[in-house]
Amino acid sequence: MQKLGRTGEAEEALKTACRLSPQTTAFVHALAILYAQEEKWGLAKKCAEGLIRMEPGNRQWGALLELFERESGGS
């Protein structure tokens, strides 16, 4: 849906997937990337923080959060 310019629908589908399967990191990660592509840094960072809570030992999630913080100017 996102590639078709239907990002609102993609966001809603991913949010629903996250609600239905709250421990599936792939859905949260996809939502984080969607938010980052739309430069919604606060939402992207919340998703990355959620990923870190889900898998605290996964360095990829910390790196993702750092990237979002850099891109957002640290805000």
Of the pLDDT bands very low, low, confident and very high (cuts 50, 70, 90), residue 74 is low
pTM over 0.95: no
Give the integer Cα–Cα distance in Å for 39 and 37: 5
Give the integer Cα–Cα distance in Å for 36 and 47: 10
pLDDT digits (tens, 9 = 90+) for 6-58: 788 999 999 999 999 999 999 999 999 999 999 999 999 999 999 999 999 99
Give pLDDT, residue 7: 85
- Please name the amino acid found at residue 9: E
Other Cβ atoms less than 10 A from the Cβ of 48: the count is 25
